[in-house]
Structure 1
Amino acid sequence: MKRLLCHSLFPTFLILFIFFIGADVSGQHTFVYGDQMPDAPELSARGAHAVGVRTLDLVHKDQVDILNSKDGKEVRYDRPLKVELWYPAMAGDNADPIETYNELMGTRGDSLRPLLPFTFKGRALRDAKPKTEVGKLPLVVVSHGYVGSRYLMTYLTENLASKGYVVVAIDHTDSTFKDANAFYSTLLNRAKDISFVVDAMENLGKAGSGDSLAGVVDASNTAIIGYSMGGYGVLNVGGAGYSAGLGQFFGSMTGGSTAINSLLAGNENFKGGADTRIKAIVAFAPWGMERGIWDAEGLKGLKTPTFFVAGSEDDISGYEKGVKAIFDGAMNADRYMLTYLNARHNVAPNPPPAESLAPGLHIDEYYRYAEPSWDQRKMNNINQHFVTAFLGTHLKGENFSKYLNLPQDSNEETWEGFKPRSSTGMELRHAKGM
């Protein structure tokens, strides 16, 4: 009788379960990128501010057009850069606003996969009025990988804005899903784009600029965050000069050698690390060490406090001879390195979009985001936690030392700020600058 009863109740239970799941998916408490998982560490929680978001088109004038300079003639152009801004906002009655971001899968780069539009949700209010009573807020500039977009890390950009930062993420021209072009452009322009956007945000935030963020942006108190090729860029802006090998790579290209020389270690025109506005760097899986882009002399120039994030099985940037070698070589910087054991390269992006699971799609649409050994949502929460602690320390003067001064091996004991039994499979190294 009991067995018969269980069988008769099962369809009803299943229907109710599906009903409640469906109600949750369509309601305002739907899980969106960046929301806390049950085992999320303490500092991953969103801050006190509602978040506004807006799109801005910038133009970096009179730049070397490396892709069209040829036959002995250097071509210059006004380089367009689209950016996305997140900031503390006046939300009014919209206590939990939901934003729909429009994104693409595929790439026009070397693999020429078809471009497929998709959308995903975030917790922000489009073009909301900024909170001005909070005063001037630290600036965070975010640089995506190749290929990528300004929406690749919304779990982090929204989270930081809710904690009192103005966050701007760049669409690097010639390096996004929709316009990826020859790699020369990314190598040349990545660091230059980042520096330009810091300048542009400083001008936008000045009193009298006419922008709604005038008086809100404190560019003198800036952090730069980069993933993969973004990491390649932020380390250079922070003081690590590229090796002479990169200059030789450009040597045969019209205009290329001169343009890249200003980013090389030892060049008298190299200004990396001279920007005193930049107080902290976060480098997710920075690229280049295994390709000879960095050397010991160049890495000595990095003196800005830096937080590295890596996967121990990174097959794009490398680990022992890649990211860890950069960490070890940056001997003059106070630096941390969080390692996700068994993870590969994708330690920074949002979770894979549901559309990437569609039958027939190339697996790279999924692996543009996914990690084979980790739940991306868990990694997102952990990144939020540690970036909050690191930036809070260096940009806001907050005391987060208990979350950063930890046993190296997370399997030895539960790390501070993590729920019991939840901090396994990671390492955190700390080395003080010489």
Structure 2
Amino acid sequence: MTTNLTVDDVTSNDPFGEEASATALLRFATAGSVDDGKSTLVGRLLHDSKSVLADQLEAVERVSLGRGQAAPDLALLTDGLRAEREQGITIDVAYRYFATARRRFILADTPGHVQYTRNMVTGASTAELAVVLVDARNGVVEQTRRHAAVAALLRVPHVVLAVNKMDLVDYAEPVFAAIAAEFTAYAASLGIGDIVAVPISALAGDNVVEPSAHMDWYGGPTLLEHLETVPVGSDPSGEPARFPVQYVIRPQSEQHPDYRGYAGQLASGVLRTGDTVTVLPSGHTTTIAGIDALGRETDIAWAPQSVTVRLTEDIDVSRGDLIASGPTAAPTKDVVATVSHLHERPLRAGDKVLLKHTTRTVRALVKEISYRIDIDTLEQRSGAEGLSVNDIGRVVLRTSEPLALDGYTQNRRTGSFLLIDPADGTTLTAGMAGESFRTVAAPAAEEDWV
């Protein structure tokens, strides 16, 4: 008998206890251009939701007073690097953990400078929601479109447009309406389905946690209200099971002389004792004999639990193999993917790299760079000799061993991979298998990009 699991079922078995399971968890990222006020917004969100410790606030007040500022500079709550405080910009991804009575949050405050766009890929890769800030005085700029494109590329389900600094445009509704219409049209062209626009002033606190008295024309939720109520998670039983094997457990003890278990974290879906599964890339089919979690045997496991799976047949399974149920893609050595290049060293056709997919790492060759994507127009610029840092493009790879890659649009965990420098282990590129980004072909009369 098949039983559907809900998010409530999952959180009710949270190993962190009843208090942690009382609220759902939302992972979200903030992004925007330089000086749009991301760090101030995050500081305001933490401050007004009572998520700042007293000693942290006192330290910020001391620094602000030393600078001659009458009010505390809330951006200092997130800009932790010395270079960030000196330059007044965000450089690294700052993670913050906080909670309200309705939900727990993991926040990734990502840099706004074009030089650090790659850091947004890191911060938003696991996010379920992205908050894109826009300065009401400047409107939608190139970096705004770039961040929206990255959110679409990473398949972030929900996007919030926070039109900041409304106090500097006299809280004018037409200014907000024009920016919201332009951004919504662009985001929709990228394939982003859920877009909510909120007019705010992070400095003054308007519509961040408390409703604004200056914008009575706005009838929507505050930013925090939306974060607390946006749907998160999904029914794991509606997804195919994917279990990357991290480690083979053979205790060789007298109590369990024949024990063979495969440990890992369930990437998606549900596994049950008795389920028929396929081990990839070998293609062997078997059934689940048992599941061990937290030192106890259980009949069921769901993503993202870490468990040990036992199989009925003694077949060859090792680290990097994928135990799967449901529809699976045929393992292949030919990988076509959309990628975001993260390193200063360009990625070029002919480069030899390592490809890391879940727990499996194989050698790979960059056979072709099909095109680079123009973020402004979403056009495909063919003829590129390589991808530079922050570029998004299409590549064709050939791997030394077959990989069981899902399409990224179907599974963010098993459809993603990294390209690594085999010489020093540096991460070069983040990849999304299959067709994961809406683009348009460049006009025929236009010269190829070089």
The answer, yes or no, to whether TM exceeds 0.5 is no
What's the TM-score once normalised by structure 2's chain length? Answer: 0.28
TM-score by length of 1: 0.29
Looking at secondary structure, tell me which structure has more helix per residue.
1
Point out the structure with the larger strand share. Answer: 2
